[in-house]
């Protein structure tokens, strides 16, 4: 199956779940779906089209919303599934039941962007220090870095 045939079959299987789909270059497909259709979309892409490999999940702060990008691959193409979510209530369902390896990437977007991943199996902080101030998300565009007070071990007071 070539890329154009793959795009047509994805359109046929996903139907009304698709907000937008395009293939701007060889071996590159971009698919946009709503958050409520994400898990079903990922199951269909895995089961019917062989998109088993999740290379990463990235998040983008557009200031008006967040875009979550799921980067998948099979033997024909690389596919990016995009989901836009509200900035005031940033929630996305976990895809760990579909692709278990997604947990690390989902924990990263929770830590760094403050996006709540609903039903994630292990919601612990992954990349930020244990004493990181809650509500401080370093990949948000409106985040202002404030240097912590310097602590020197063994310093006399």
Query: Could you list the pLDDT tens digit for every one of the 157 residues in the chain?
Result: 788 899 999 999 999 999 999 999 999 999 999 999 999 999 999 999 999 999 999 999 999 999 999 999 998 899 999 999 999 999 999 999 999 999 999 999 999 999 999 999 999 999 998 888 888 899 999 888 777 677 788 877 6
pTM of the model: 0.89
User: Does residue 17 contact residue 33 with C-beta atoms inside 8 Å?
Assistant: yes
CATH topology of domain 3-118: Beta Polymerase; domain 2 (3.30.460)
């Amino acid at each position: 199956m070539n890329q154009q045939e793959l795009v047509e079959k994805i359109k046929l299987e996903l139907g009304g779940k698709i907000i937008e789909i395009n293939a701007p270059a060889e071996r590159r497909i971009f698919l946009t779906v709503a958050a409520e259709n994400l898990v079903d979309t990922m199951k269909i892409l895995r089961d019917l089209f062989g998109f088993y490999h999740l290379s990463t999940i990235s998040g983008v702060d557009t200031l008006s919303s967040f875009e979550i990008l799921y980067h998948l691959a099979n033997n024909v193409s690389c596919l990016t599934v995009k989901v836009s979510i509200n900035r005031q209530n940033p929630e996305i369902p976990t895809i760990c039941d579909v692709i278990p390896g997604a947990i690390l990437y989902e924990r990263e977007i929770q830590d760094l962007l403050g996006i709540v991943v609903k039903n994630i199996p292990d919601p612990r902080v992954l990349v930020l220090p244990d004493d990181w101030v809650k509500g401080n998300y370093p990949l948000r565009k409106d985040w202002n870095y404030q240097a912590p007070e310097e602590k020197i071990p063994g310093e006399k007071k």
